[in-house]
Structure 1
Amino acid sequence: MVKTFKMLGLMSGTSLDGLDLAYCHIMKNKDQWSFEILNTKSVSYTVEMQAELKDAIFLQADKLLVFNNEYGTWLGEQSIEFIKENALEVDYIASHGHTTHHQPQNGLTYQIGSGQHLANASGHRVVCDFRTNDVSLGGQGAPLVPIGDRLFFGNYDFCLNLGGISNVSFEQKGKRIAYDIGLANMILNYITRKIDLDYDKGGELARNGTINSKMLEKLNGLAYYLLPHPKSIGYEWFVEEVAPIVDETDDHIENLLHTAVHHICEKVAQQIKRNSTGNRQSLFVSGGGALNHFLIDTLQEKVGSDTKVVVPEPTLIEFKEALVFALMGALRMEQEINILCSVTGAKRDSSSGVLYLPN
């Protein structure tokens, strides 16, 4: 008997480009899970909201809590508009929220987007706050997408997500291993915003640049890359460690982007080669970075001919994370594991997420 969950997945990532909404049917047939993505929408952030989200890390506690509620209401408004536009039947909204603070070493991760405000504004049941429980169990609270990689995309050797941050997942001795590799769109978008561009479409600006060797050396030398996994990074790390390197490099935008792309791809390729079985293998790439043709070309060059870089159709590229949070919501409703301790380093696997009912 196939059980179907009608889920609306919401995702806002560290690249600050906007909110992704994906209406999915998540199907469970015995212990097998599958999906259909039926409707999608991306809502770009205004310049003002981008700034508010970027600077939320600096807010005083009371102002951050107010913003948490306001953003939750906004998420609810976007959700109900999307639901009405497409006449959707929704069982649950599964929301990632937007990460403002991520300090697992201090037992802290915080995603704004109040679940109660979201539920009230949308009139639908909400599952959110997926990371906090894992951090309370001693885990990184990240990355979370690997449960989707295992259940939906397990036929690929490696699954790479190129969002604001690059992260990878793969099976090793019967366990799913995953961690944040390092930079991705966060640095690219930071550079383009210096010339009032949201992003480098297709990587065309980057393609026309050349490598700035000093900048590349500094990026490659970041201490994070020497840490063992499980490990994860957040916006705080970018502000403290990466932004100063970009800001102090006096060069053309094209060269900054070209250098950043080479850095991203070198670090990804190192991890793929380090965990390679030595056989012909596949690397499934999703996230906004998969739309950057120059980045994908450079990545294929760096990983070599033994690894085939697979880029799926655009809907899956853009909405995979929203899809996975829809899955995580369904797993939570079934009280099944949705966070893997082999990925996060927590004391145990968990079924995480908090349910909010509309009033």
Structure 2
Amino acid sequence: MKIFKIIGVMSGTSLDGLDLAYCHIWEANNTWQFVIQATKNVPYTPEMELKLKDAIFLPATELLEFHNTYGTWLGQQAKAFIEERNLAVDYIASHGHTTHHQPQRGLTYQIGSGQHIANESGIEVICDFRTNDVALGGQGAPLVPIGDQLLFHAYDFCLNLGGISNVSFNLDQKRVAYDIGLANMGLNYRTRKAGFAYDDGGKLARKGKVNQPMLKALNSLEFYDLPFPKSIGYEWFVEKVKPIIDATDDTIENILHTSVLHVCEKVAADILQNTTKPKSTLLVTGGGALNTFLIEKLQEKLGDTVEIVIPSQTIIAYKEALIFALMGVLRIQKQTNVLCSVTGAKKDSCSGVMYLPS
């Protein structure tokens, strides 16, 4: 039995820092197993956060330069993590940071050059997990459902509340998944305008009241009516959501309260329409799982039909990094790691590009 010792590296749309998860992953009796041995979150400096957020607006040459320098920085962070914890590492699997995601135009781009990561860290790197699926006609997203299927199959639904909300579940004996819509991206945008990173536990939102015009505007966004497979990126937020928030003249408490209700209404509606059992379980991870007010409101809207399960803090924070580590292992093993039933591509694929240090 071979144990893969691999670091999963993830930077998400919520821009809450870089997640590194050192994992041992192995297959026994045709079932994939894992242990997260060590973790680290590297908060972004205000300068790095702003540059990542605005990378979509960079001219091509500057974006390519940032792709390389960010890759070097990722390699430095991985190397520091390895040295601090004295880790024995075979591979690094890096998601990178998505700057452009427009699958309808056949493009998706995650910065963080794999060659620069490999050269800086001295470790073989697997990255660029989305491009191949888009080339096969898919959305290139979500990718996490392969991990939901292989590692978290005990739950009926797996919901991630990062910058964007996305869900995966089995339908007609196939795994399906898609981006539902907003999650922390709207909440964090408003709190950062007020000078702090996020609404701790939803305490501010809890104090607010619903702004009906804002709620109606958010609920009316056309993306919610599209059939899956479907996915969104930061471009959608900037074009469709940010103007609604900016145009709402109300207190921060009311805006956050309304945003939470919007997220819960849309998530609950999607879960309930796909529930086939009298009682289902919903695993919730991502930063939104720590928003107590949001989770309470979501459970209210789900009622007794669906039970929310909040896992350990480690799984909440590092599930995506873990799953990209798994995707790296599957790529090494030349096994399927992207599901066409999820992305809408022509076929399943074994995606990811491998880089050797030099």
Same fold per superposition (TM over 0.5): yes
Residue equivalent to 1:220: 219
Q: Tell whether 2:284 aligns with 1:289.
A: no
8 A Cα contact 1:19 1:43, kept in partner: yes
1:265 aligns with 2:250: no
Report the equivalent of 2:34.
35
2:164 aligns with 165
Q: C-alpha distance in 1, partners of 2:199/2:91?
A: 35
Partner Cα distance (2:156, 2:28) in 1:
24
After the TM superposition, list the runs of 4 or more consecutive aligned residues in structure 1 that deviate by more than 6 angstroms.
none
* 2:153 equivalent in structure 1: 154
Q: Which deviates the most, 73-82 or 272-281?
A: 272-281
Instruction: Name the residue aligned to 1:310.
Output: 309
Q: 2: CA distance between counterparts of 1:282 and 1:272?
A: 10
Partner of 1:113: 112
- Structure 2 SS opposite 1:3: coil
1:14-93 map, 5 Å = 14-93=13-92
CA distance in 1, matches of 2:81, 2:315: 19
SS at match of 1:9: strand
Secondary structure of 1:244's counterpart equals helix
Instruction: Specify the alignment match of 2:246 in structure 1.
Output: 247
For 2:128, the equivalent position in structure 1 comes to 129
The residue type equivalent to 1:349 in the other structure is D
- In the aligned structure 2, how far is the partner of 1:214 from the partner of 1:3? 57
Give CA deviations for 1:155-186 in whole Å, capped at 9, x if unaligned: 11100000110000000111001000000011
User: Does the Cα contact within 8 Å between 1:210 and 1:258 map onto a contact in 2?
Assistant: yes
In structure 1, distance between residues paired with 2:90 and 2:206: 44
Query: Secondary structure at the residue paired with 1:35?
Result: strand
Q: Deviations over 1:303-352 (max 9, x none)?
A: 11111000001010000000000000000000000000000000000010
Indicate the residue corresponding to 2:139 in structure 1: 140
Name the aligned partner's letter for residue 104 of structure 2: Q
- In structure 2, runs of 5+ residues without a counterpart are none
Q: Per-residue displacement from partner, 1:73-113 (whole Å, max 9, x unpaired)?
A: 00000000000000001110000000000000000000000
Work out whether residues 182 and 233 of structure 1, in 8 Å CA contact, stay in contact via their aligned partners in 2. Answer: yes
Unaligned ranges ≥5, structure 1: none
Deviation at 1:31, TM superposition (A): 2.1
Query: Partner amino acid for 1:119?
Result: A
**Which letter maps to 1:222?**
L
Question: Could you say what secondary structure the match of 1:38 adopts?
Answer: strand
Count of residue pairs brought into register by the alignment: 358
Query: What letter matches 1:175 in structure 2?
Result: K
Q: 2:245 is matched by which residue type in structure 1?
A: V
C-alpha contact (below 8 Å) 1:109/1:135 kept by paired residues: yes
Code of the residue aligned with 1:331 in structure 2: it is L
Tell me how far apart the structure 1 counterparts of residues 256 and 207 of structure 2 sit (CA, whole Å): 9
Partner-residue secondary structure (3-state), 1:37: strand
Structure-2 separation of matches of 1:313 and 1:201:
18
Equivalent residue for 1:179? 178
CA distance in 1, matches of 2:209, 2:44: 31
- Alpha-carbon separation, structure 2, partners of 1:202 and 1:161: 17
2:54 aligned counterpart, secondary structure: helix
Quote the residue 1:201 is aligned against. 200
Q: Are the equivalent residues in 2 in contact too, given 1:160–1:166 (CA < 8 A)? A: yes
The one-letter amino acid of 1:294's match is F
Secondary structure of 1:100's partner? strand
Q: Deviations over 1:240-271 (max 9, x none)?
A: 00000000001111111100000001000000
Deviation at 1:30, TM superposition (A): 4.3
Residue pair 1:3, 1:29 contacting (<8 A) in 2 also: no
In structure 2, distance between residues paired with 1:50 and 1:250? 26
Once the 2 structures are TM-superposed, how far is the Cα of residue 278 of structure 1 from its aligned partner?
4.0
**Match of residue 345 from structure 1:** 344
TM-score normalised to the size of structure 1?
Answer: 0.99
Residue 300, structure 1, aligned to residue 299, structure 2 = yes
Offset from partner CA, 1:13-67 (integer Å, 9 cap, x none): 0011110000000111242101000100101111111110011000100000000
Mapped partners of 1:3, 1:247: distance in 2 = 53
CA distance in 2, matches of 1:109, 1:332: 19
For structure 1, which segment, 69-78 or 21-30, has the greater mean C-alpha deviation from structure 2 after superposition? 21-30
- Name the CA distance, whole Å, in 2 between partners of 1:274 and 1:290: 22
Which residue pairs with 2:5 in the alignment?
Answer: 6
Secondary structure (helix, strand or coil) at the match of 1:283 reads strand
Tell me the C-alpha RMSD between the 2 structures.
0.6
Aligned residues of 1:23 and 1:39 also touching (Cα < 8 A): yes
User: What amino acid is aligned across from residue 22 of structure 1 in structure 2?
Assistant: A
Measure how far apart 1:287 and its partner are.
0.5
Contact 1:115 1:127 in 2 (8 A): yes
For residues 78 and 307 of structure 2, what CA distance do their matches in structure 1 show? 37
SS of structure 2 residue aligned to 1:82? helix
